[in-house]
Structure 1
Amino acid sequence: MTITIDSIWILLGIACVLGFGGYVGVYWAIHFILASKNIGFWLADKIIWPLYLKVKAWGQKWTK
């Protein structure tokens, strides 16, 4: 296969599309990671920590 000017532009176009897709994928991956951190902090503050305190208080009530 010989590489002509047209095939170089096609290969360059494919490389640009794949490169841009990789950039967009990394961009959205970072957004999802940040969103999951915020959701994780909310989950810990609103659900897990109060539940832990209730279980701890219940356990202390039964060990007295």
Structure 2
Amino acid sequence: MSHLSLRAVLITVAVFLLASVAAFSDSQVRTVRLSFVKGDVQIERGSSQQFENAMLNLPITQGSRLRA
């Protein structure tokens, strides 16, 4: 591989990596973790219509509902 084509490949890879980092940083969805559970706690995720058991340290995304 010549130096010119190797340089072109490295520049292309760098551009794609920077573009992917920028795409991830623009996400508007907030995620938190469940830090305290006492008794029975259930979660309904935004994409589901059913409640399921929630456990400590469970990631909770925007649009989810909790009930105790």
The two structures have a TM-score, normalised by structure 1, of 0.45
Point out which structure has higher relative CO (alpha carbons under 8 A, 6+ apart). 2
The two structures have a TM-score, normalised by structure 2, of 0.43
Q: Which has the higher helix share?
A: 1
Q: Which has the higher strand share?
A: 2
| Greater C-alpha radius of gyration | 1
